[in-house]
Amino acid sequence: MKKILAMAIALCMIFALCAVSASAEGSTIYVLGPTPDHGWTAQAGAYASAKCEEITAEGTYKAVYIPASSGEEQVDQCNTIIANGDAAVVVMMALDDSAQAGQEALYAEGIPFISFDRIIEATEEYAALNYSGNNWQCGAGIACWLQKNGMEPGDTVVVLYGDNGTVCSRRQEGFEQFLRGELKYEDLNAGEFETAAVWEQADLDNIFNGYTVVCNWSADGAYGYIEQKFDEIVAAAKANTGKLFIYSMDDEMTFGVLNYLEAGASAETLADLEGLEVYISAIGGMQELYNVMAGTDEQSELAEKYFDDMMSVSFNPKMMQTAIELGVKLASGDWEYEAGSGSYEPVFIVDRTNAAEVEGFQGH
């Protein structure tokens, strides 16, 4: 009886190993990402879908793009992929941290996955690769640009977060590390920069514990906060140093500020704003925002009137296609990365000096 039981256990282990091996050597590359609606995520999804069609047409692998609107939905998708038993690789743009259970399930089944853009810290070490734009450098670039334009400790600063995930936390870390003198900003086009004056942590804490809000990557989210707080913010900047700096972590949210100035701000506040030095950032690469900076959009005159300057750190959603190409390399065995490692695309600043020369993506 003991021999029969031992044999049964051994067979179960063999079958389990075979199942993992089969799933790891499948012929389908699954790509999980956002349901295309608008902005950066919509374009990322569109690029991903087009890349999957291209790979499938080549004939070596079948590539399937599966959109979702939440991390919980992506967990269900991961379980379906596991049940299908044909996955070679999963490339996953987690929509929120609740997608963690899906990545854990893939790892438990021996299905390699590449984590793209939003990196979930709890599963970072499980990923075959963590790939994104360099969010630390995005933060460093904005800190460098704002400092170059006169931002000093004690100035009035507004911080518009996208969400509470690693994308924005790393953008904050890069901003702080640059100003503390711990990180240089490395611009893909303009070279390397370091802080002109080292900041104390207490001065940075004053920024990130002050006028800050999570906008859910939405122009409407930024508009709503600015609508509630802008009179107070402008009055504070006027009474303080006469300078206002807006650290917006996304193009959409920068448009939220512009939209409020166009449609919601009082004449009194706009008059005070015009008397301030005002600088605003963004991150992304929306052609519409490049057009504003280049002077060819209907909101260009508004931006010219109320912003001394504006910028966006290039963070092109087309990099999702690069993540999928890496998935193909992983499936074919052409792999150079250690599990849990990260690879990050370089960034560069687009402002009024070069906006007309840089091609963005259509965000609206």
Q: What is the mean pLDDT of the chain?
A: 93
Looking up tokens 């933060």 gives 139
Question: Does position 59 have pLDDT exceeding 60, yes or no?
Answer: yes
Question: Does position 110 have pLDDT exceeding 80, yes or no?
Answer: yes
Distance between CA atoms of residues 345 and 135, nearest Å: 9
Against a cut of 0.95, is the pTM above it? no
> In which band, very low, low, confident or very high, does the pLDDT at 167 lie, cut at 50, 70 and 90?
very high
The string of DSSP letters for 89-106 reads EEEE--SSGGGHHHHHHH
Looking up tokens 């259509």 gives 362
Asked if 257 and 280 count as a contact pair (C-beta separation under 8 A), the reply is yes
The string of DSSP letters for 242-291 reads SEEEEEESSHHHHHHHHHHHHHT--HHHHHHHHTSEEEE--EE-BHHHHH
Distance between CA atoms of residues 178 and 134, nearest Å: 14
> In which band, very low, low, confident or very high, does the pLDDT at 169 lie, cut at 50, 70 and 90?
very high
Asked if 200 and 153 count as a contact pair (C-beta separation under 8 A), the reply is yes
> In which band, very low, low, confident or very high, does the pLDDT at 364 lie, cut at 50, 70 and 90?
low
- Tens digit of each residue's pLDDT (9 = 90 or more) over 17-43: 343 333 347 999 999 999 877 789 889
Class of domain 18-127: alpha beta
Q: Which of 35-49, 234-248, 268-282 has the lowest mean pLDDT?
A: 35-49
Give me the mean pLDDT over the 147-170 stretch: 97
Question: Does position 5 have pLDDT exceeding 50, yes or no?
Answer: no
Residue spans per domain, the chain: 18-127, 135-316+348-357
- The answer to whether the 18-127 and 135-316+348-357 domains have the same CATH topology is yes
Give me the mean pLDDT over the 149-155 stretch: 98
Q: Which of 4-18, 21-35, 213-227 has the lowest mean pLDDT?
A: 4-18
Return the closest-CA partner of residue 280 out of 305, 316, 298: 305
Q: 152: helix, coil or strand?
A: coil
Give me the mean pLDDT over the 149-163 stretch: 98
Class of domain 135-316+348-357: alpha beta
